[in-house]
Amino acid sequence: MENTAKISDSEWEVMKIIWKNPNCTAQDIIEQLKDSQKWKPKTIKTLIRRLIDKNIVGFEQFGREYKYYSLVNEDECRKAESDSFLQRVYSGSLKSMLLNLIEKENLSKEDIEDLKSILNERKK
């Protein structure tokens, strides 16, 4: 989805909550972010408004309360963000990205076996 690559890091934090809790209120989002982020409620409401403006979040009004829900699939957003990252940082080279990540990380034997299994499966 084209808009998903334009989600900021802060907006991703809000989206994680909306994906886990469809039809949540702004207050629900504020409550869930209060311990992990030092954002004021007004900041969170601004992030929600931006997501609405980008057609990533929709809402329904019930009296004075607004319920927010995602208009885009979480997996689609991840894929678009991954594709954008791959293009920006590695000029689209998946091999370069994987080699860089594998060389930098301490992989367990189990991780290595899982990777081998995935690669062997893709070989077929």
How would you classify residue 63: left for phi > 0, otherwise alpha for psi between -120 and 50, otherwise beta?
Answer: left
Q: Give the chain's count of helices (H) and strands (E).
A: 6, 2
Tokens linked to 38: 């030092």
pLDDT at 101: 85
DSSP letter assigned to residue 22 = T
> 86-123, pLDDT tens digit by residue?
999 999 898 898 888 888 888 899 998 998 999 999 98
pLDDT at 77: 87
Residue 33 reports pLDDT greater than 80: yes
> 48-79, pLDDT tens digit by residue?
999 999 999 999 999 999 999 999 999 988 88
Residue 5 reports pLDDT greater than 50: no
Alpha carbon distances (Å) from 96 to 16, 84, 101: 29, 15, 9
Question: How far apart (Å, rounded) are the C-alpha atoms in residues 107 and 42?
Answer: 42
pTM of the model: 0.77
Residue 2 reports pLDDT greater than 70: no
